[in-house]
């Protein structure tokens, strides 16, 4: 019954994953993840997209 209701309202599961394209370029010689420093404009872009 619940499956019929969920598919009727077109609900789909969302995976709790973050895709990182070209992840190999962020790995050091010990295979630890080393991200690049963030751009100074990213927090402003994120806050404006979240606020409206």
pLDDT in tens, 5-48: 877 888 887 788 778 788 888 899 999 988 887 655 555 555 55
Which of the four pLDDT bands, split at 50, 70 and 90, describes residue 50?
Answer: low
Predicted local distance difference test score (pLDDT) of residue 18: 78
Contact 20, 27 (CB under 8 A): no
SS3 12: coil
pLDDT at site 30: 94
State if pTM tops 0.75: no
And the tokens for 1?
């019954």
Backbone angles phi, psi at 3, to 5 degrees: -65, -40
């Amino acid at each position: 019954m619940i499956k019929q209701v969920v598919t009727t309202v077109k609900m789909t599961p969302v995976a709790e994953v973050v895709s990182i394209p070209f992840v190999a370029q962020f790995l050091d010689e010990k295979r630890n993840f080393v991200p690049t420093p963030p751009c100074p404009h990213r927090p402003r872009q994120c806050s404006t997209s979240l606020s409206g």
